[in-house]
């Protein structure tokens, strides 16, 4: 039996070591540039006895200028990517799929992404289709979950069966949940800073050529500096790319293991990888901007003859980790979208414990409303604050807590593209929940606000231990129907949300222990754990995924 938890831990350990190595190399590059430049400008001199004499002031100035230039280039690149994953998706030719699209192909994609988002207990991200990419691939991009996007190539959508598509989307969700998107953006920015050194060196070489032609016979240090910077810069980029590729390979192993653990279906992910191997061009991306973002993709996006530069592990190794008994033979290529009507109906999601969206049995009319940018703001407002204001909503009063949470998560894409006046009006009405002792609906307001309001609103934090304790106390007081310190709880959630997935696990486990201490999970406790997990972007623990948990927690 494959131990996927062990694979995840191994990948995390390897990633940490490689990230440390990356920044060590980054520091050494700055040091080399400083030494070379300082030597040219007199910061290092050789005395007659062969000893070196250092003049620290010029060296310090060089370090300051070089370091400042690199950090500026990194900052510019980081700021260009910070607006969200849509920047990356659009740079690759991606087209956003409208949340209420009725196109069969687009609806198929959206349905799968919605299913996996609800299963992961997180808001539905924006979805992009790369219509000009006939090969099989997918990616997740963004700085945090509120600006995350999932992208799929046309080839992937037309090729994968529903189960395979679910597995690949689960793989991309694991990148979001494990913080890989933020790490990827930082690596891109760091490499942009290193590349600046090579660009400056090239500029010096060009300027030195023209300067020398005008002043022959005069000493000119620019060619030496330019050549040194050019060489150091490109050596730095070369080794930086090797380390970045190694980090990416470890994160792919991690995402594969997490996706299998998430879907409980190793055959689906293995089958998706085998479909890539069955094709001549597999997962190659043809867009000119694929070079910079190759490490974001599900499969190897660029040809790489040099193994150390490959951003993804070899397909056979990935498949063997997932399915050790695989015979090594790839199947014949096929397209799932040419299935018969009966085959397509048979592949529709069935109500299982994992597929929470199917179990919720949400009315089609409500799904239509939450997917519509025109209707979603008013619908969410009626569902969350209508009862608080004494308004009668007979259709909505029958919704249980699980359905309400799912509808909020499903509405996020439509709310993001709704008219500003509608979205701001919704948030203004929801502020009435800020001081409500109904912790469940307060958490739903927090979930919405964290997705739709600027992050600076949620900057105030507590000490880690204090935040941990505050959430546990809130659970106990809510079950006992005692007053809550909601200001402190919001600050505690701000703190916990920024923790790593590994740090969040003991907190969620403590929540589960708190609500199961009497050997019974009440409906109130169940829905509070679910909404608190959603607020800190942590999947529901297995204890919450029983049939009663996933269908009601009413």
* Active site members: 172
- Residue 474 sits at φ, ψ, to 5 deg, of -60, -40
Pure H helices in 131-217: 154-159, 162-177, 180-214
Other CB atoms within a 10 A radius of the CB of residue 214 amount to 7
Strand order in the sheet with 138-141: 95-96, 126-130, 149-153, 138-141
> Tokens 């793989």 sit at which residue?
171
What sign has the CA pseudo-torsion 435, 436, 440, 446?
negative
What is the helix (H) or strand (E) element at residue 104, kind and residue range?
A: helix 104-120
> Tokens 């030195």 sit at which residue?
208
Between helix 222-263 and helix 162-177 the angle, nearest 10°, is 120
Category of 141 on φ-ψ map: left (φ > 0), alpha (ψ -120 to 50) or beta: beta
Q: Helix, strand, coil % (nearest 5) of the chain?
A: 65, 5, 30
259 Cα distance to chain centroid: 14
**Which class for 343: exposed (0-12), middle (13-18), buried (19 or more C-beta within 10 A)?**
exposed
Extended strands (E) in 8-48:
44-46
Residue 170's alpha-carbon distances to 113, 197, 260, in angstroms, are 8, 39, 8
d(CA 386, CA 429): 10
Category of 239 on φ-ψ map: left (φ > 0), alpha (ψ -120 to 50) or beta: alpha
d(CA 309, CA 431): 50
> Tokens 């033979």 sit at which residue?
329
379 Cβ neighbours under 8 A, 6+ residues apart: 366, 369, 370, 407, 411
d(CA 253, CA 149): 21
Torsion of CA 270, 273, 275, 280, to 10 degrees: -150
Say whether 106 sits in a helix, a strand or coil: helix
Say whether 53 sits in a helix, a strand or coil: strand
Say whether 486 sits in a helix, a strand or coil: helix
From 186, 194, 231, 192, select the one nearest 66 (Cα to Cα): 194
Residue pair 130/92 in contact by the 8 Å Cβ criterion: yes
Residue pair 137/118 in contact by the 8 Å Cβ criterion: no
């Amino acid at each position: 039996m494959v131990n996927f938890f062990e694979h995840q831990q191994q990948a995390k350990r390897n990633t940490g070591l490689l990230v440390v190595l990356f920044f060590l190399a980054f520091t050494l590059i700055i040091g080399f540039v400083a030494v070379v430049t300082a030597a040219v400008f007199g910061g290092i001199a050789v005395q007659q006895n062969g000893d070196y004499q250092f003049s620290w002031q010029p060296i310090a100035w060089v370090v300051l200028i070089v370091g400042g230039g690199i950090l500026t280039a990194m900052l510019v690149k980081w700021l260009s990517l910070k607006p969200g994953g849509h920047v990356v998706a659009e740079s690759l030719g991606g087209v956003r799929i409208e949340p209420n699209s009725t196109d069969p192909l687009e609806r198929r994609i959206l349905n799968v992404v919605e299913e996996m988002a609800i299963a992961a207990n997180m808001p539905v991200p924006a979805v992009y289709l790369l219509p000009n990419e006939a090969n099989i691939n997918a990616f997740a991009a963004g700085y945090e979950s509120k600006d995350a996007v999932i992208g799929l190539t046309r080839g992937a959508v037309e090729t994968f069966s529903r189960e395979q598509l679910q597995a690949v989307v689960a793989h991309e969700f694991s990148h979001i949940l494990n913080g890989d998107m933020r790490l990827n953006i930082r690596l891109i920015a760091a490499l942009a800073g290193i590349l600046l050194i090579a660009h400056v060196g090239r500029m010096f070489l060009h300027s030195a050529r023209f300067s020398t032609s005008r002043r022959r016979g005069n000493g000119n240090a620019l060619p030496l500096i330019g050549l040194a910077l050019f060489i150091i810069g490109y050596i730095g980029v070369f080794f930086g790319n090797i380390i970045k590729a190694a980090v990416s390979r470890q994160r792919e192993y991690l995402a594969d293991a997490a996706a299998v653990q998430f879907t409980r279906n190793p055959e689906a992910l293995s089958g998706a990888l085998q479909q890539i191997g069955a094709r001549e061009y597999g997962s190659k991306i043809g867009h000119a901007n694929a070079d910079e973002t190759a490490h974001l993709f599900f499969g190897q996006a660029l040809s790489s003859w040099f193994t150390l530069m490959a951003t993804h592990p070899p397909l056979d190794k990935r498949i063997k980790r997932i399915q050790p008994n695989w015979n090594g033979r790839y199947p014949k290529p096929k397209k799932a979208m040419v299935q018969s009507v009966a085959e397509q109906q048979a592949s529709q999601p069935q109500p299982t414990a994992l597929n929470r969206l199917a179990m919720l049995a949400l009315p089609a009319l409500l799904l239509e409303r939450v997917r519509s940018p025109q209707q979603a703001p008013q619908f969410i407002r009626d569902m969350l604050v209508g009862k608080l204001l004494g308004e009668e909503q007979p259709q909505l009063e029958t919704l249980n807590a699980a359905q309400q949470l799912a509808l909020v998560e499903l509405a996020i894409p439509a709310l993001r593209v709704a008219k500003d006046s509608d979205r701001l009006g919704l948030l203004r009405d929801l502020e009435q929940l800020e001081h409500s002792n109904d912790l469940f609906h307060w958490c739903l307001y927090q979930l919405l606000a964290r997705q739709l309001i600027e992050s600076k609103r949620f900057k105030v934090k507590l000490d880690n231990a204090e935040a941990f304790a505050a959430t546990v106390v809130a659970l106990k007081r809510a079950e006992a129907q005692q007053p809550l310190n909601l200001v402190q709880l919001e600050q505690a959630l701000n703190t916990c949300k920024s923790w790593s997935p590994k740090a969040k696990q003991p907190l969620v486990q403590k929540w589960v222990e708190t609500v199961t201490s009497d050997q019974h999970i009440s409906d109130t406790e169940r829905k509070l754990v679910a909404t608190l997990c959603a607020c800190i972007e942590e999947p529901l623990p297995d204890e919450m995924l029983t049939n009663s948990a996933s269908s009601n927690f009413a």
